[in-house]
């Protein structure tokens, strides 16, 4: 067996263990009863330990290092894969096994602790878990011994190559060009009837509309499914098994509609990856930023557009004839793009959304530089909400406890949402040169758009970097001005004209 074959065999086994962790995670987040989590934490410890041993075994180290030593002899894709494996290996071998296993247990227990704390507005109940999560991640980053600040290393895990310096530059553009515009739009607030604001929308009917959206977006149900969970997410083990979740509340029709469309963006990406990448480490979306570009494009650029609702409002009205009696496409476009300073990131409009991200970026940065203690998080959160959006959460449930990410150990993830949204604007601009996007949305058949995205982005899986994708798809490097231009054009038309 040559080194590459040997590597493939070890990766196949390692992936089997990650697969079972994924299935257990899916169960935990979508249905496991509360009693399951205690015994489950022990299991995660055992399996996590096995993953650690396999990821750090001498056998695996030898084969990765041998391939890396001869990396110039490999084809470009394999070289990329080996570089990725080597980078991960050089990190994980620095972590003591016992600490790695303890961290797996911590993750299993932190998830229900966060859910409870959020349900009960009990930040102190979650605080020790969060403190442990931050401490463990800071410690791990310390072990790596890599150059750069701890938070730079965290950011790199979700968007390879992006540092605080890069994000600072990006957010500076938004602060300079977008924030004053947001203020202007907020001030121009219109008094317009919103038939969606007061009505109740039975959850069973929202479930039906979510299923309808799966059909609209051409989601392949033989290779995936839709379910509900506290926090919407997309889950995948291969293009053959891609699942998404949505949350439902009788009071918030748009919450389920746009969560479903958002997750369908992620899910379509994963379903359209070429199965040729299955046995490799490049078998998933390339970075979180590119992933979010797909979900945010689906959600905002397509899902909140007029042509989309010209086609689909009649279907929505069939399900909610009383609630939506007399509602027009104009009403929907207004409601789906209503700009207001609000508490919840996932329900925020497209225009104030990046402000929610900047707040989280500021907080994570302070947490990882040691300038902010976990105990002081709620006060800092509330202060920043006031600074960015001019409002104050009435409790931690709608404040610092609102997001799932930190309870899953995901620090450094949030900025990719804003970055991905900006990627999306630039990709959409390129798409419009080749496709009549509005006509396609109006037709109700996403096939041509999905085919374009597959050909340009999806099928490559993790084999292209964001830089390559932006260059290949748009003919130029990433440029945040397109994002600012897109938002200004859209919201000037809606609010300031």
Could you list the active site residues? 263
Least gap, CB of 405 to a second copy (angstroms): 24
Largest CA distance in the chain: 71
Contact of 143 with 94, CB cutoff 8 Å: yes
The DSSP result for 410-434, as a single string, is: --S-THHHHHHHHHHHHHHHHHHHH
Instruction: Report the alpha-carbon distance of residue 170 to residue 364 in Å, rounded.
Output: 17
Coil/strand/helix, residue 304: coil
**Closer CB to a second copy, residue 24 or residue 146?**
24
Closest to 402 measured CA to CA, from 366, 371, 359: 359
Long-range Cβ pairs for the range 322-329 (8 Å, 24+): 323/195, 323/196, 323/199, 323/200, 323/201, 324/195, 324/196, 324/199, 325/195, 326/195, 327/195, 327/196
Least gap, CB of 232 to a second copy (angstroms): 17
**Closer CB to a second copy, residue 189 or residue 221?**
221
- For the beta carbon of residue 433, count every other beta carbon within 10 angstroms: 8
Least gap, CB of 226 to a second copy (angstroms): 10
Q: How do strand 234-238 and strand 224-228 relate by DSSP bridges? A: unpaired
**Closer CB to a second copy, residue 36 or residue 79?**
36
Least gap, CB of 42 to a second copy (angstroms): 7
The DSSP result for 362-404, as a single string, is: HHHHHHHHTSS-GGGHHHHHHHHHHHHHS---SSSTTTTTS-S
Please give the residue ranges that form the binding site for a second copy (CB under 8 A): 12-13, 15-17, 19-20, 23-24, 26-27, 31-36, 38-40, 42-43, 45-47, 50, 204, 220-225, 227, 237-241, 243, 278
**Closer CB to a second copy, residue 283 or residue 300?**
283
Least gap, CB of 224 to a second copy (angstroms): 5
> Which phi and psi angles does 231 have, rounded to 5°?
-120, 125
**Closer CB to a second copy, residue 18 or residue 56?**
18
**Closer CB to a second copy, residue 102 or residue 240?**
240
Least gap, CB of 450 to a second copy (angstroms): 17
Contact of 144 with 94, CB cutoff 8 Å: yes
Instruction: Report the alpha-carbon distance of residue 463 to residue 283 in Å, rounded.
Output: 8
Q: How do strand 224-228 and strand 241-246 relate by DSSP bridges? A: parallel
Q: At what angle do helices 76-92 and 3-30 cross, to 10 degrees?
A: 60
**Closer CB to a second copy, residue 242 or residue 431?**
242
Q: At what angle do helices 164-173 and 415-434 cross, to 10 degrees?
A: 60
Least gap, CB of 46 to a second copy (angstroms): 4
Instruction: Report the alpha-carbon distance of residue 290 to residue 366 in Å, rounded.
Output: 26
């Amino acid at each position: 067996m040559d080194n590459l074959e040997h590597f493939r065999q070890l990766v196949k086994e390692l992936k089997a263990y990650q697969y079972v962790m994924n299935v257990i995670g899916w169960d935990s987040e979508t249905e496991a009863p509360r009693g399951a989590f205690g015994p489950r934490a022990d299991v995660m410890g055992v399996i996590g330990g096995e993953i650690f041993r396999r990821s750090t075994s001498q056998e695996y180290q030898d084969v990765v290092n041998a391939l890396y030593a001869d990396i110039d002899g490999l084809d470009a894709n394999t070289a990329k894969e080996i570089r990725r494996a080597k980078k991960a290996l050089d990190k994980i071998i620095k972590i003591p096994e016992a600490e790695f296993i303890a961290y797996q247990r911590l993750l299993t227990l932190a998830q229900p602790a966060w859910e409870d704390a959020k349900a009960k507005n009990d930040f102190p109940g979650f605080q020790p878990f969060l403190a442990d999560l931050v401490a463990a991640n800071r410690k791990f980053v310390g072990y790596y011994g890599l150059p750069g600040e701890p938070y730079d290393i965290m950011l790199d895990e979700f968007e390879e190559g992006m540092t605080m310096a890069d994000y600072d530059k990006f957010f500076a553009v938004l602060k300079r060009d977008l924030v004053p515009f947001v203020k202007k739009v907020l001030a121009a607030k219109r008094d317009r009837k919103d038939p969606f604001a007061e009505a109740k929308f039975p959850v069973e009917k929202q479930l039906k509309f979510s299923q309808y959206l799966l059909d609209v977006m051409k989601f392949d149900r033989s290779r995936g499914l839709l379910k509900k969970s506290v926090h919407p997410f997309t889950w995948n083990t291969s293009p053959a098994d891609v699942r998404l979740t949505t949350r439902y509340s009788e009071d918030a029709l748009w919450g389920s509609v746009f969560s479903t469309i958002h997750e369908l963006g992620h899910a379509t990406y994963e379903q359209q990856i070429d199965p040729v990448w299955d046995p490799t480490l490049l078998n998933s979306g390339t970075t979180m930023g590119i992933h979010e570009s797909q979900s945010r494009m689906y959600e905002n650029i397509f899902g909140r557009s007029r042509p989309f609702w010209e086609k689909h409002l009649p279907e929505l009205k069939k399900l909610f004839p009383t609630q939506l009696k007399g509602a027009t496409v104009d009403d929907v476009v207004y409601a789906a793009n209503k700009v207001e300073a609000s508490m919840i990131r996932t329900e925020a409009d497209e225009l104030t959304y990046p402000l929610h991200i900047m707040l989280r970026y500021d907080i994570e940065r302070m947490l990882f530089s040691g300038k902010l203690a976990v105990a002081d998080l709620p006060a800092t959160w509330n202060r920043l909400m006031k600074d960015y959006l001019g409002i104050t959460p009435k409790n931690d449930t709608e404040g610092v406890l609102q997001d799932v990410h930190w309870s899953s150990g995901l620090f450094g993830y949030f900025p990719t949402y804003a970055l991905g949204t900006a990627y999306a604007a630039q990709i959409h601009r390129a798409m419009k040169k080749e496709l009549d996007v509005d006509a396609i949305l109006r037709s109700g058949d996403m096939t041509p758009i999905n085919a374009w995205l597959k050909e340009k982005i999806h099928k490559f899986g993790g084999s292209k970097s964001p830089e390559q994708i932006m260059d290949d798809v748009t003919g130029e490097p990433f440029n945040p001005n397109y994002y600012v231009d897109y938002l200004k054009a859209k919201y000037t038309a809606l609010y300031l004209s």
